[in-house]
Amino acid sequence: MKIDKINIDGKKNSIEVLDKIFAAKINKQLVSNVLYKTNANYKGRKAKTKQQNEIKGSTSKIYAQKGTGNARHASRKAPIFVGGGVAHGPKGESKYKTRRLNKSEKKLSIASILTEKNKGSNLIIFDDFEKKILKTKEMNQILIKFEAKNSIFIVDKKSRENIYKSARNIPNVKITDTNHFSAFDLAKYKKIIFTVTSIKELEKRFIWLIKFIYMTKFFHQL
């Protein structure tokens, strides 16, 4: 399939892309599951309280079991004492379950989101940024021109070097490459911006996914 390609001057052309990525079947349930798991794994669960066995101090009984008229107690580490352990408190990051995602889930969810963005005219493909854009003001003008004030740039290495400094301080704009983004990033930003080279790099990453889709269809037909 063909998608419009544009340069920063506004001149349009077209580029051939894989329809298995940019015109894929949209699986909203899969995307929802992937975003839920990704968001859950991003959360920093660092709150931790000491359990009874983590309190330093003597483990001996504070007084005799019987004959004192007081309630029966073991050591001062019990949760009912000041300075003792905390019952049912947060146990720290290591105790939380990491929700695992396999590669096919990640790739299929990315294809679904890219397809939806393409249908909603929220996908932009620029020519590679050959010249350096040094001023934030200049980059800001480009974003305003293409209505991309809330966007993620997924670009090739050379383009990233040429635009990173001018875009890094602009709010709601992220600069990354084809190896360092997730479905969560694509859903977070309104516009997704690629360069011609980064599109080709992305397609290389997705070759195995296309083979997987064809194999799945083949086995379903058996």
14 and 80 part of one domain? no
53 and 163 part of one domain? no
Q: What count of residues does the chain have?
A: 222
Q: Which residues contact 196 (CB under 8 A, 6 or more apart)?
A: 5, 15, 125, 126, 127, 128
CATH of the domain at 155: 3.40.1370.10
Mean pLDDT over 1-29 rounds to: 87
What is the total count of domains within the chain? 2
CB 136 within 8 A of CB 166: yes
75 and 148 part of one domain? no
Please give the Cα distance from 197 to 125 (Å, whole number). Answer: 10
Edge-to-edge order in the sheet of strand 151-154: 12-16, 2-6, 123-126, 191-195, 151-154, 173-176
The overall pTM is greater than 0.85? no
Q: Which two tokens stand for residue 159?
A: 């383009």
The DSSP-derived string for 67-83 is: SSSSPP---TTSTTSTT
175 and 82 part of one domain? no
Kindly tell me the sign of the dihedral angle through the C-alpha atoms of 190, 205, 182, 116: positive
Higher-pLDDT residue of 84 and 205 is: 84
114 and 173 part of one domain? yes
Neighbouring CB atoms inside 10 A of 22's CB total 22
Assign 47 a pLDDT band (cuts: 50, 70, 90): confident
133 and 74 part of one domain? no
181 and 122 part of one domain? yes
Q: Which residues contact 130 (CB under 8 A, 6 or more apart)?
A: 158, 162
69 and 36 part of one domain? no
Write out pLDDT tens, residues 96-153: 777 888 888 888 899 999 999 999 999 999 999 988 998 999 999 999 999 999 999 9
Residue-number span of the structural domain to which 26 is assigned:
2-43+98-221
- Which of 37-41, 70-74, 123-127, 214-218 has the least mean pLDDT? 214-218
Q: How many CA atoms lie within 13 A of 147 on its CB side?
A: 4
133 and 196 part of one domain? yes
18 and 85 part of one domain? no
Give the residues across from 48 on adjacent strands.
Answer: 91
What was the pLDDT predicted at 218? 52
12 and 107 part of one domain? yes
Cα→Cα distances 117→36, 69, 120, 179, Å: 19, 73, 5, 19
22 and 132 part of one domain? yes
Please give the Cα distance from 174 to 36 (Å, whole number). Answer: 21
